[in-house]
Every structure is written in C-alpha cells, then in structure tokens.
C-alpha cells in the first residue's frame, strides 16, 4: 500500500551568500508536516543533494555501528567510492545486507567485536537491513558529486562551493514515500532560503523481506535475541 506526498514546495528568495572558499553557497530549510501537528523528531535525517555536473566527492570511510539492534547513525550520505564499516557491538550475531540495486551486498553472519565493510561504487539510495532482526534498518545515500548535505535539528542546511548552473535538487527522508525533486538555478553568488516542505502524515512502517526474499522466521513474532 502506498501513501501520498501531499506537500512539495520550494521557494526561491533573494538571499544569496558567497562560500568562504569560492563558488556559490546553497542554503535552505526542510520542514515536515506531522500527524496532529507534532514536532518532527528527525529533521536531521533528511538528505539534500544536487543532481548535475559537479566535482566528485573524495571517497570516505565511516562507521555505522550496530548497538542494541540499532544502526547508529541511521542515515548517512557519502560520495561514490566511499566505504562504510559496520562494527557489531552486540553480544550476538548480525547479518548486514542490502537488496538495493545496483549496490546490493551481503556481509554474512558475524559476532561481537567484529566489523565488516562495503564499498559503494554506484550512486543511489541503499536500504540496509539485518537478516536476523527484521526491524533493523539504515540508509546510505550515495551521491555522484560532492553537492550534498544533511540538515541540522532545526531543518536548516548548507551546501558550499557549488558551481553556477542548473541542478535538480533532491530532498529525501525515510518517512516520505518519494523524493522531492525540484529545478534549482545557482548563480555565481549562490542561492539562499530554499524552502522544502514534506508531508509525513501518511507514513506507516512497512515490513521488508529477508535476504532470500522471504518473511522473517521469528518465534510467534518475537525475536529470540
């Protein structure tokens, strides 16, 4: 069952800023409309990136740690060629995997004190699961260039040193059914006060299949550990 993104608004207001190291600075703010107008607890989990010609980001190596059956952090954004390690700090085994094409992988079972890694060679959204625990999920957004950001807790974001030109600005959040995509023109001095409003009122958690495409085998719905 699919839910609907009701709101998708981008407004361009004249507030350009020059990046300290040259190039244009792209700034803005993401907001999320919640059920019963509750405050959004996870604005910082959004990802904003610009699709278009731009320099590749320097490949990085970072950790998503497994702790108490939770991936920490839950969302990361990395350029193509980056490597993500998955250290296991729990006193039992995990099996990190993803079926997200073209970045699918399977790290197999491994225990406490071990870490396995995967290098992401293609851009795209990668949903990372555990083949043992059905509610474990992390997201790796792999970008083709270095023009990306995650907002602060207040939803504000900045992308520095953006070359002038036309771009497609993508805004992703796990509780929105589809990315918001808007055309953005960046002048030499940049562009400021981009506003993106997302609607998460229809969000519902959806179970996924294990790495074999089957339902998870649990004890009457309860995990053994």
pLDDT at 76 (0 to 100): 98
Residue ranges of domains in the chain, CATH in brackets: 1-55+145-207 (2.60.40.10), 56-144 (2.60.40.420)
Enumerate the β-bridge partners of residue 124: 142
pLDDT at 223 (0 to 100): 60
- What torsion do the CA atoms of 61, 67, 73, 79 make, to the nearest 10 degrees? 30
Closest CA to 57 of 181, 149, 137, 179: 149
pLDDT at 11 (0 to 100): 38
pLDDT at 220 (0 to 100): 47
pLDDT at 2 (0 to 100): 35
pLDDT at 10 (0 to 100): 39
Tokens of 193: 């006060």
Closest CA to 7 of 202, 198, 201: 198
pLDDT at 9 (0 to 100): 36
pLDDT at 225 (0 to 100): 67
pLDDT at 54 (0 to 100): 87
pLDDT at 23 (0 to 100): 76
pLDDT at 192 (0 to 100): 87
pLDDT at 21 (0 to 100): 52
pLDDT at 217 (0 to 100): 83
Closest CA to 145 of 169, 127, 126, 129: 169
What average pLDDT values come out for the chain (225 residues) when binned by 10 residues?
A: 36 43 86 94 97 92 98 97 98 97 97 98 97 97 97 96 96 95 94 94 92 82 57
Q: What DSSP line would sit under 51-108, residue for residue? A: ESS-PPPPP-EEE-EEETTEEESSEEEEETT-EEEEEB-SSS-EEEEE--TTS-EEEE
pLDDT at 50 (0 to 100): 97
């Amino acid at each position: 069952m699919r839910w609907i993104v009701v709101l998708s608004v981008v407004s361009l207001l004249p507030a350009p800023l020059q990046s300290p190291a040259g190039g244009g600075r792209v700034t803005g703010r993401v907001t999320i409309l919640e059920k019963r107008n509750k405050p959004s607890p996870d604005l910082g989990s959004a990802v904003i990136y610009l699709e278009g010609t731009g320099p590749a980001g320097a490949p990085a190596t970072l950790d998503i740690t497994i702790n108490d059956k939770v991936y920490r952090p839950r969302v990361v954004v990395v350029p193509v060629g980056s490597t993500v390690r998955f250290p296991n700090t729990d006193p039992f085994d995990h099996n990190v995997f993803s079926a997200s094409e073209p970045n699918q992988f399977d790290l197999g079972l491994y225990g406490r004190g071990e870490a396995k890694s995967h290098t992401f060679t293609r851009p795209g959204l990668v949903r990372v699961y555990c083949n043992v625990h059905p509610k474990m999920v992390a997201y790796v957004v792999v970008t083709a260039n270095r023009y990306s950001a995650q907002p602060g807790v207040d939803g504000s974001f900045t992308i520095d040193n953006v070359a002038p030109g036309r771009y497609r600005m993508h805004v992703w959040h796990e509780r929105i059914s589809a990315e918001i995509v808007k055309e953005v023109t960046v002048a030499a001095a940049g562009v400021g006060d981009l506003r993106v409003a997302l609607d998460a009122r229809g969000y519902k958690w959806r179970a996924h299949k294990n790495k074999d495409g089957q339902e998870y085998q649990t004890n009457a719905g309860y995990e053994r550990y």
